[in-house]
Chain A
């Protein structure tokens, strides 16, 4: 079940009084989370006792808008490579060389964010500091970091990256700990998806790309 994909939001927000016990809890205001019972899915219909509202942008009169990611949670990466502030600069360089990533999060032992550094920060430090071997990660990283949450709208994430001229935003969960990372590459991948379906739709064909 992919978030953001289904085009119908079930409106009733209570447990449905249905004979079938397997009917699931239906929540409203959550276009990204619809639950259908196995029975209704198999029969490919929705029970008549359920009220539902079409919550679909087709009704606005605009041309077809494909479903798309809208929040950080749908696009961020949760597999993180992190360092502690006490790691040495040399270890940071080695990590960067052996990894396809360009941004690294620095975390405290309890999982809270300490800082961020990028390959550009490392290269700058290598160019400036003669005795960089003596430094540790906290000397290279950015300390005051702008962060987002999983619920932050993607438009906000994009505009903050643009105005601050950065390419990486750590994602902080409700517990105050780092739960992921979102980069400009993640945003561009998401853009690629919606842009190609927009281009296909306007060409009047859904077969392949231009």
Chain B
């Protein structure tokens, strides 16, 4: 467990000393969403209808943007070699790196989402549901994304390949999350969607660190 905390501490410390690495995808998130009212229509009803889709699609793209650099830096410096040959569980170290990735990409999005929800005229109940879906699903984006990042770590300029690998796996999350927020706008029940998101989170949490570890060992060969 010590190595989990040490890895988490190291990754966060490095990110805060070089903030552009995690601020760029966040800036992309904020700027893209704030351009929609200008580009489409300032009409409250139009924006309210498309808001769940906009916020969720941009969330996925900004997480995808940050995934690219998850392992590349450590791979180029030889630190990943030391992690792989360490006597510690590789899955545990990768889970720590994924947690750091979520703290730097998913968590700020959850914190910023009410503000951006208001700019897209979402009501308070929908904003609450939006935050709930983000809390349940952004960790899944980081966990599933780690598998893709592990697979392409040794390939230069692999952002397109990473997107092709990971985006299909994100689709169920997108469907359940956007439908939960949309249905909440019409006071329809959303328990089903939230249960699905919760179960995806549990399955991802249990399985992805092991799959990522195998993928990383194969990529490092």
* Real binding pair: no
Interface residues of B (CB under 8 A from A): none
